[in-house]
Amino acid sequence: MTELAMELIDVKKSVGSKEIIKGISFSIKKGEVFGFIGPNGAGKTTTIRMMVGLMKISSGEIRICGKSIQSDYKEAAKQIGAIVENPELYPFMTGWQNLKHFARMNKDVTDERIREIASLVGLEKAIKEKVGRYSLGMRQRIGIAQALLHRPSVLILDEPTNGLDPAGIREMRQHIRLLAEKENVAVIISSHLLSEIELMCDRIGVIQNGQMVAVESVRGNESQAEEALLEVSLEAVPLDKARALLFAQHKVEADTDGAVLKFKSKKEDIPAMVQLLVQEQIDVYQISSSKATLEDKFFDLIGENTIV
Amino acid sequence: MFNLIRNEQMKLFIQKSTWIMFILLFGFVILTAAITKGFEKPAAYTKDNWRQELEKQNKGYEKNMKDPDLKDDPDYMQYQMQQIETNNYYLEHDIQPASYGAWHFVKDSVYSISILSLLTIIVAAGIVANEFRWGTIKLLLIRPISRAKILLSKYLSILIFALILLVFYLIASWIVGALFFGFDGLNPKEAMFVDGKLVYDSIVGQSMVDYAYKLVNLVMMTTFAFMISTVFRNSSLAIGIAIFLMMAGTSILMFVARFDWAKYILFANTDLTQYTTGTPIIKGMTLQFSIIVLLVYYAIFLVASWFAFTKRDVAGA
C-alpha cells in the first residue's frame, strides 16, 4: 500500500497583483525522494515555504499525511521536518543547545533521541562546540539533525547541497537514501543544480515561472527507456542527399553540424536508416547514438541560459 | 508554554551581551553611589548633634526660599517647605532621624530607573527581530506550535527579564548603598510626604510604591519597542524610536501641553505620580482617565504585534 506523504492540489500564490505560483499539483509517496528543480526565482522556495506554513496559500490546498497545513496546522506541522534555504541555527549556542531548543518545541523528544540523531549525522564530537564555529558541511548536518528530531514523515530540504563539496554531497546522498528506504520518510529536495541531486531522487519535478512543467521518473521503468528517443550523429557524404533521404523515408528532420547530421530517432529504426543510405550509394563514415539524459530534457524544457 | 519561555530565557542568557548589561548596570549603581557620596554628602546624625544639624538645614532652606531667582518656581518652593516641615516633625516629636544608609540609597535609585527601561528596550527590540536577522525564525515557525503562542512566550520572557533586571538593580543598590553609606537596619523609618501629607513610615514600603509607579513607564516603553520590532522586523529601528521617545517624550509634551488633545499622548499619562504629589500635567486629567489611556495604548501595541507576527508571510531575505 502506498500512502501519500504530501499532496499539493492546484496551489497558487499571489503577492500583490502578481501571481508567482500558478497552480501546482503533485503528490509524493512515503519513502520516495522527490527532486524539485528549477532555475533561481522559479518559485521553488515559495512553494516550500507554503508547504511548511511560513507563507499562506492564496488558493488550493497542501496536505501533509492527509492533514491540511492551512486548517490543521499543528497536526500537519508535526509530520514535517525542514531546512528552508540555509541551515541557520543560533551561532552563539552549541550544537547540543540548539537541538535541545528545538526538541523542547515538540512533544516526546528525549535527550536519548538527540544523542541518537547527533550520531546519525556524525556530529557526536562537535555537539559541544558553538555552531558559529561549524563548517558549512557541519551546519548542513546539524540542520538535518534538527529536522529529524521528532521523526517526521516528510523531510523538506531546500538547496541542501549549497556549499557542500563533492564528498559532502555523496555523504548526504547516502543519508537521504537511507532515510527513505529504512525509515520510509518522504524526502523533498530542491536544487537549481540537477546534476547534484539527480542521483538521490526517485522522481524529479521541474518548475519554471511558477508552474510545474514536467515530472520525470529517474530510476527504474526500463520499458520507458526503450521508447525513448536517442540522439544520433551521422557523418556521411554527400550530406544533403542523406538528409533528404532520411526525411523522405523516415520523416526525420536532421540538423547539419559541419560534416555531421544530428537528429533524434528510436533505437530500432537506426539499422534501416543505415541500410537505406548504403543502398543509395552514400558513404557512411561513422554513426553514433547517445541516450538523451535527464539534463538534456531539462535543458529542452527550460532553455539553456536559465541554469548554471 | 513553560518550555517556550525556558527556550527564550536560555537564548537570552547564553548571549554575552546580556551579561554585559548586568555588569554595566552594576557599574552604574556604583557610579551613582560614588557621586552621591562625593557631591551631596548626605547627613549623618549622631545622638548629640542631630538637633543642631536639622536646625542648620532649616536655615539653609529658608535662605533658599528668599532667593529672588527661584521665587517663581512653585515646585522648588514647595520642596523647600516640605523639607522644613519634615525636619520640624523630627524636632517636635523628638525622634532622631535615621542617617543616610542602604535603604535611602535604594529609595533614591528609583530616579535612575530609566536605565532599566533602556536595557529592557534593547532586549525587547531584539527578541523577535533577531530571529529574523539570524534566519532562525524559519526553524521556529515550522514547529507544531501556533505563532501566537510563540509571540506570547517572547513577550512574557521580556517581562520576566525586566523583573530579573529590577531585582538585580534593587539588590545591587542595597549592597552598594550599604558599602558606601552604611547598613541602616532592616526596616528604617522616615518622615516624608506621601500624597501631600506628612507621615512617619517605612522607607522600604515607600520605595516599593515609588518603583511600582515607575514600572508603568518601563512596561509601556518595552511593549512599544516589542511592537516596533515585531512589525518592522528590525531591532535597531525599534531601539532608536523607543529610546528617542523615552528621552524626548517629556520635552515634546511640554511643547504641545497647551493643546487639549495633548492629554491623549502616551507620555502625558505614564507618570501616575502626578495625581498623588503635584498637579496633573494637563488640566482636567484624572487617574481614571490616565489608566484608560494607558490600557488603550497597551492593547494597541499588543494587537499590532500579534497581527504582524501571526498574519504575515515569512518571505525570503
Residue A83 lies in a domain: yes
Angle between helix B114-134 and helix B147-181 axes, rounded to 10 deg: 140
Q: What is the pLDDT of residue A45?
A: 86
Residue A33 lies in a domain: yes
What range defines the domain where residue A281 resides?
229-291
Q: What is the pLDDT of residue A302?
A: 60
Query: Do A188 and A91 lie in a common domain?
Result: yes
The answer for A 138-157 residues in CB contact with B (under 8 A) is: 146
Average pLDDT over residues A232-257: 85
Number of inter-chain CB pairs under 8 A, A vs B:
77
Average pLDDT over residues B109-137: 90
The C-alpha atoms of residue A95 and residue A164 are separated, in whole angstroms, by 19
A171, A203, A223: which is the final residue of a domain?
Answer: A223
Of the candidates A54, A82, A97, which has its C-beta nearest B14's C-beta? A97
Query: Do A18 and A91 lie in a common domain?
Result: yes
Q: What is the pLDDT of residue A308?
A: 38
Q: What is the pLDDT of residue A221?
A: 46
Query: Do A32 and A139 lie in a common domain?
Result: yes
Which of A36, A81, A84, A70 minimizes the C-alpha distance to B316?
A84
- Give the highest mean pLDDT range of B34-48, B139-153, B282-296: B139-153
- Tell me the pLDDT tens digit for each residue of A48-68: 999 998 998 888 899 998 888
Q: What is the pLDDT of residue A2?
A: 56
A223, A248, A278: which is the final residue of a domain?
Answer: A223
More confident residue, B151 or A43: B151
Residue A226 has pLDDT above 60, yes or no: no
The C-alpha atoms of residue B250 and residue B247 are separated, in whole angstroms, by 7
Query: Do A11 and A143 lie in a common domain?
Result: yes
> How many angstroms away from the CA of B313 is the closest CA of chain A?
5
Query: Do A214 and A244 lie in a common domain?
Result: no
| Torsion angle (degrees, nearest 10) of CA B273, B276, B278, B279 | 90
The C-alpha atoms of residue A37 and residue A27 are separated, in whole angstroms, by 15
The C-alpha atoms of residue B62 and residue B67 are separated, in whole angstroms, by 9
Share of chain B above pLDDT 90, in %: 36
Average pLDDT, chain A: 83
Q: What is the pLDDT of residue A295?
A: 64
Query: Do A79 and A196 lie in a common domain?
Result: yes
Inter-chain CB proximity B145 and A80 less than 8 Å: no
Type of residue found at B32:
T
pLDDT band at residue A223 using 50, 70 and 90 as cut-offs? very low
Q: What is the pLDDT of residue B303?
A: 96
What is the tally of structural domains in chain A?
2
Q: Is the pTM of this model over 0.80?
A: yes
The C-alpha atoms of residue B204 and residue B170 are separated, in whole angstroms, by 11
Q: What is the pLDDT of residue B68?
A: 77
B16 touches chain A (CB under 8 A): yes
pLDDT band at residue A306 using 50, 70 and 90 as cut-offs? very low
Sign of the dihedral defined by the CA atoms of residues A277, A278, A281, A284, in that order: positive
Residue A249 lies in a domain: yes
Inter-chain CB proximity B11 and A93 less than 8 Å: yes
Residue B207 has pLDDT above 50, yes or no: yes
Query: Do A150 and A208 lie in a common domain?
Result: yes
More confident residue, A91 or B102: A91
Residue A222 has pLDDT above 90, yes or no: no
The C-alpha atoms of residue B76 and residue B181 are separated, in whole angstroms, by 27
Which residues have CB under 8 Å from A110's CB, separation 6+?
Answer: A103
Query: Do A139 and A59 lie in a common domain?
Result: yes
The C-alpha atoms of residue A151 and residue A173 are separated, in whole angstroms, by 19
List chain A residues with CB under 8 Å of B310.
Answer: none
List chain B residues with CB under 8 Å of A21.
Answer: none
List chain B residues with CB under 8 Å of A75.
Answer: 144
Residue A297 lies in a domain: no
Q: Which CATH number do you get for residue A105?
A: 3.40.50.300
Residue A300 lies in a domain: no
Residue B102 has pLDDT above 60, yes or no: yes
More confident residue, B157 or A261: B157
Inter-chain CB proximity B145 and A74 less than 8 Å: yes
Between the CA of residue A211 and those of A11, A159, B256, what are the distances in Å?
A: 10, 19, 57
Query: Do A151 and A36 lie in a common domain?
Result: yes
CA atoms in the 13 A half-sphere facing the CB of A106 = 29
C-alpha cell of residue B282: 494637563
Query: Do A150 and A247 lie in a common domain?
Result: no
More confident residue, A304 or A2: A2
Least confident of A97-101, A219-223, B70-74, B289-293: A219-223
- In this structure, the number of other CB atoms found within 10 A of the CB of residue A289 comes to 14
Of the candidates B144, B146, B313, which has its C-beta nearest A55's C-beta? B313
Least confident of A189-203, B155-169, B286-300: A189-203
Least confident of A117-131, A269-283, B72-86, B129-143: B72-86
The C-alpha atoms of residue A165 and residue B109 are separated, in whole angstroms, by 59
Residue A308 lies in a domain: no
Least confident of A104-113, A132-141, B61-70, B286-295: B61-70
What is the three-class DSSP state of B193?
Answer: strand
The C-alpha atoms of residue B82 and residue A31 are separated, in whole angstroms, by 82
> Which long-range contacts link B241-247 to residues 24+ away (Cβ below 8 Å)?
B242/B121, B242/B124, B242/B125, B243/B118, B243/B121, B245/B221, B246/B114, B246/B117, B246/B118, B246/B121, B246/B217, B246/B221
The ipTM value here is 0.80
More confident residue, B186 or B126: B126
- Tell me the pLDDT tens digit for each residue of A159-218: 877 767 788 788 888 888 888 888 888 999 988 777 777 778 888 888 888 888 888 787
Which residues have CB under 8 Å from A28's CB, separation 6+?
Answer: A4, A5, A6, A7, A34, A154, A186, A188
Cell 527556550, residue?
B7
Provide φ and ψ at B96, rounded to 5°: -75, 120
A80 touches chain B (CB under 8 A): yes
Average pLDDT over residues B40-52: 76
List chain B residues with CB under 8 Å of A62.
Answer: none
Which of A151, A143, A115 minimizes the C-alpha distance to B138?
A143
Residue B302 has pLDDT above 80, yes or no: yes
Q: Which CATH number do you get for residue A236?
A: 3.30.70.260
List chain A residues with CB under 8 Å of B11.
Answer: 90, 93, 101
Residue A91 has pLDDT above 80, yes or no: yes
Least confident of A286-290, B4-8, B236-240: A286-290
